[in-house]
Structure 1
């Protein structure tokens, strides 16, 4: 199971959630042209596609974060109140 192996290497749900929010920020910055428009000679259409492409990563990172959270919930020892 990939989630188990990655969790044993130190990855946690918080890392995936942070990556998803970072992806959203990079997508917005790219879509508004802060990065792509100045670097990309092909213009607005290419900048829009870059922003959409990076924005599609966010749901994947959120899903990975949920998988990690479920794994963490299943494997953590019960706590006493």
Structure 2
């Protein structure tokens, strides 16, 4: 296996077209992981909010009231 320095050396020696493909593949692999991390953070936050509602720590706003408040804010 190449060391990071060796990998960088070989990657920077590639023709520009090959560098572009390499960059695209690296970004693609990172984007997939970042999207997964964001999704998992969203699921965790949703679970926390549900637990708060179920425990009575917070109360929900009925949908019709929430819509009225949103409409009011959009008029400002």
Which TM-score band applies after superposition, normalised by the shorter structure? 0.3 to 0.5
TM-score normalised to the size of structure 2? Answer: 0.45
Which protein, 1 or 2, shows the higher relative CO under an 8 Å CA cutoff with sep ≥ 6?
1
Indicate the structure with greater helix content.
2
TM-score normalised to the size of structure 1? Answer: 0.43
